[in-house]
Structure 1
Amino acid sequence: MATKPKLLALESLRGFAAIAVALHHFRYGSLLSENTFIRHSYLMVDFFFVLSGFVIALSYANRLASPADLASFQRRRFWRLYPLHLFTLLAFLGIECLKYIFEQKTGIASNSPAFVVSDSSAFLANVFLLQGVVLAHPGFNIPSWSISVEFWTYLIFALTMGLLRLRMRWCLVLAALAAIFLLSLEGGRLQTDPMFAIIRCIYSFFLGAWAASLQARFSRNAPAAITAAALALIVLATSGLGGSRAEILLPPLFAVAVVAVANLRGDTALRRFLEWPFFVWLGTISYSVYLTHSIIGWVVTQVLRFGMTLPTVVAANGDTMLALDQSLGTLSTLVAVAAVLAVSHLTFHLIETPFRSGWPFGAIGRLRVFRARG
């Protein structure tokens, strides 16, 4: 029973991070998105990596003793990630088709013309979860690059901690090697270029896994004031260090905050805040939020631009952007977020949950339920 509140609080943090990433991609001229924290919230992806490493290590570090265990682990990871990824990939394939038809009829090309970046090779890379590993410019659902590298990092974790029987302290060694690689070749910046993206994931994921080994030996309660300070430091450091070579310092800060929140006990205001059911629900649907928000953002942008014919400007990079005032930009942002939450609630229940145990089990189970009700 002692682990339940820790997991709930961490689930809320996952939800906050997903919303931050969504706001990062919603450029409607609102202060909700145009602030330094949200402008640098692409780094919340690294928070996801740290948190995934932490949770996976707590759950599986001692359960990967054979090839069969490894196969079962990777199969579970596949069914956790792939169904929703495939759904959003097909949705973006439909968007590319709509863009192509529109371009042919009007002569107006989008900022990313149809089937230029999102071409056949990008589609195949997405199908095989390689988009974050081999593509310099991931097409279709761009945020899914992180799903790709995380899937293969799961396999590296299973091989090193399972078949090779390495102790958990090797997680810190692997994270350190990844950090050295990023420092020497990227100057400390956390990039999404081929090869660097998966090294970036390994760095943060194995830091999180090593933090889980500390968690197992950490028996004291984390004071609420220190935990709150760690969370505040994340916001300040992300705002101040994002876009600089010091980005590489953020994943260790994320790991510290995750351990602090995991050890937050007692009836404190911070714990009650983090375990508020709405925030926990945000965390529950956070994977759907992360993968579907680009679809919603595209739809909202088309409605504003072509349906409501709102004004646009050409940015310095040549992209056409909406030019909204603060009030309309904030309203558009809130509508987009609300739509993301509504769609994510549906995809969580209709796609994520039914396929979590694999297609055969899900299909047979639903058939049995249907017959029983009939």
Structure 2
Amino acid sequence: MAKKSKLLALESLRGFAALAVAVHHFRYGSMLSENAFIRHGYLMVDFFFVLSGFVIALNYANRLSTPAEVASFQRRRFWRLYPLHLFTLLIFLGIECLKYVFEQRTGIVSNNPAFVVSDASAFLANLFLLQGVVLNELGFNIPSWSISVEFWTYLIFALTMGLLRLEMRWCLVLAGGAAIVLLALEGGRLETDPIFAIIRCVFSFFLGAWAASLHVRVPRKAATPMAAGALALVILAIWGLGGTRAEILLPPLFALTIVAVASLEADTSLRRFLEWPFFVWLGTVSYSVYLTHSIVGWVVTQVLRFGLKVPTHVAADGDTVLALGQGFATLVTLAATAAVLVASYLTYRFIEKPFLSGWPFGARAVASRNG
């Protein structure tokens, strides 16, 4: 019970990160999204990877010593990730069908024509959780690329730390090797091409796993100033280093932050703040926030374009975005964010949660969000 309580603060951080990714993708011209921190919100994906490595190592490092345990672990991770992924994939398949019918009836072709990028090969890759591994251009629910590479990184962890029984310091060796590859091929940037995505995940995930071995060594009295300072530094680093070759420094900072927050004493104001029930709930539904926000964003965009006839313009990066006034854009961003939270509550309640108890396929003892 103590361990579960201790990790509630990390659950809140997971929720903040998921919300930052969602707002990052809501390009409506709002002051909420048009700032350096949110523009670099894609780096929160690396925070997810580090946090997953930390939590997985904390819970499973000594429980993966046989092939049966590895198979059980990977099955649990599958049932944790796949049901909601499949649901959102089918939603996006429906969206492609709607686009196709619309194009045939009106002659108006969207910026991404139906079934061009999101084609049969992309669907199969998504179906088998390979989209972040084999695709050069992502289709359907684009944010799900990180789910696919994380799933296979789980297996790498289970095989190396479990069956091969490597000591935890080898996590740092694997992370270092991945960092060298990223420096060589991507110049240290973390907004990598899809084909290198699994290397990006291995780097951050194994940093987090190694950080789990440091958790017990942090003096509890030092944890509060460490955590407060690290959280402030994370915000400043994302703001200033995002989009540069120094991005590769962010995952080590994330690891330090996670260790410090996980080590907070129960009676500290920072821990009480992070364990505020709404923040913890946000972390609980964070996976739904991450996988459903693109659906909500697509719906909001269609309502604005075709329902309210809002004009569009081409942004500097070539994307077509809505031409909204600052005030209206902020209202739209807030409304879209609220809609994501409602959708996430529903998908967590009716899709994620049933599988946490193994329903209906008997995958019992499926790991909880912190497992």
Q: TM-score interval w.r.t. the shorter chain?
A: over 0.9
Q: TM-score, normalised by structure 1?
A: 0.94
Matching residue of 1:257: 257
Q: Between Structure 1 and Structure 2, how many residues are aligned? A: 364
CA shift, 1:194, in A, is 4.1
Cα deviation digits, residues 49-105 of structure 1 (max 9, x gap): 000000000000000010000000000000000000000000000001111111122
Matching residue of 1:147: 147
Cα deviation digits, residues 107-139 of structure 1 (max 9, x gap): 222221111100000000000000000111110
Matching residue of 2:206: 206
Cα deviation digits, residues 284-316 of structure 1 (max 9, x gap): 000000000000000001001111112222334
Matching residue of 1:55: 55
Matching residue of 2:345: 345
Q: Which one-letter code corresponds to 1:167 in the other structure?
A: E
Matching residue of 1:120: 120
Contact 2:218 2:260 in 1 (8 A): no
Contact 1:76 1:357 in 2 (8 A): no
1:351-370 equivalence runs, <5 A? 351-358=351-358, 360-361=360-361
* Aligned-partner Cα distance in 2 for 1:127–1:204: 25
Contact 2:42 2:191 in 1 (8 A): no
Q: After the TM superposition, which of the residue ranges 331-340 and 348-357 deviates more from structure 2?
A: 348-357
Cα deviation digits, residues 295-351 of structure 1 (max 9, x gap): 000000100111111222233455432111111001000110000000100100111
Matching residue of 2:175: 175
Q: Which one-letter code corresponds to 1:165 in the other structure?
A: R
Q: Could you list the runs of 5+ residues in structure 2 that have no partner in the other structure?
A: 365-371
1:78-93 equivalence runs, <5 A? 78-93=78-93
Matched, 1:35 2:39: no
CA shift, 1:224, in A, is 2.4
Cα deviation digits, residues 271-290 of structure 1 (max 9, x gap): 11100000000000000000
Contact 2:138 2:194 in 1 (8 A): no
Q: After the TM superposition, which of the residue ranges 201-210 and 237-246 deviates more from structure 2?
A: 237-246
CA shift, 1:239, in A, is 1.1
Matching residue of 1:216: 216
* Aligned-partner Cα distance in 1 for 2:346–2:85: 15
Cα deviation digits, residues 121-167 of structure 1 (max 9, x gap): 00000000000001111100000000000000000000001100001
Matched, 1:229 2:221: no
Matched, 1:300 2:300: yes
* Aligned-partner Cα distance in 2 for 1:6–1:35: 32
Q: Which one-letter code corresponds to 1:131 in the other structure?
A: Q
Cα deviation digits, residues 166-206 of structure 1 (max 9, x gap): 01110001000101111111111114424410000000000
Contact 2:17 2:44 in 1 (8 A): yes
Matching residue of 2:94: 94
Matching residue of 1:283: 283
* Aligned-partner Cα distance in 1 for 2:231–2:345: 27
Task: Indicate the SS of the match to 2:313.
Answer: strand
Matched, 1:25 2:35: no
* Aligned-partner Cα distance in 2 for 1:81–1:363: 13
Q: After the TM superposition, which of the residue ranges 316-325 and 163-172 deviates more from structure 2?
A: 316-325
* Aligned-partner Cα distance in 2 for 1:137–1:357: 35
Matching residue of 1:11: 11
Task: Indicate the SS of the match to 2:27.
Answer: coil
Task: Indicate the SS of the match to 2:335.
Answer: helix
Q: Which one-letter code corresponds to 2:11 in the other structure?
A: E
CA shift, 1:257, in A, is 0.3
Contact 1:20 1:38 in 2 (8 A): yes
* Aligned-partner Cα distance in 1 for 2:219–2:121: 50
Q: After the TM superposition, which of the residue ranges 129-138 and 221-230 deviates more from structure 2?
A: 221-230
* Aligned-partner Cα distance in 1 for 2:125–2:160: 25
Task: Indicate the SS of the match to 1:172.
Answer: helix
Q: TM-score, normalised by structure 2?
A: 0.95
CA, structure 1 residues 359+120, in 2 after alignment: closer, same or farther (shift >3 Å)?
A: farther
RMSD of Structure 2 on Structure 1 (CA): 1.6
* Aligned-partner Cα distance in 2 for 1:196–1:357: 34
Contact 1:354 1:362 in 2 (8 A): no
* Aligned-partner Cα distance in 2 for 1:151–1:302: 32
CA, structure 1 residues 59+264, in 2 after alignment: closer, same or farther (shift >3 Å)?
A: same
Q: Which one-letter code corresponds to 2:308 in the other structure?
A: M
Q: Which one-letter code corresponds to 1:189 in the other structure?
A: R
CA, structure 1 residues 33+317, in 2 after alignment: closer, same or farther (shift >3 Å)?
A: closer
* Aligned-partner Cα distance in 1 for 2:363–2:157: 30
* Aligned-partner Cα distance in 1 for 2:69–2:216: 22
Q: Could you list the runs of 5+ residues in structure 1 that have no partner in the other structure?
A: 365-374
Contact 1:79 1:357 in 2 (8 A): no
Contact 1:132 1:192 in 2 (8 A): no
Matching residue of 1:367: none
Task: Indicate the SS of the match to 2:356.
Answer: coil
Percentage of matched positions with identical amino acids: 79
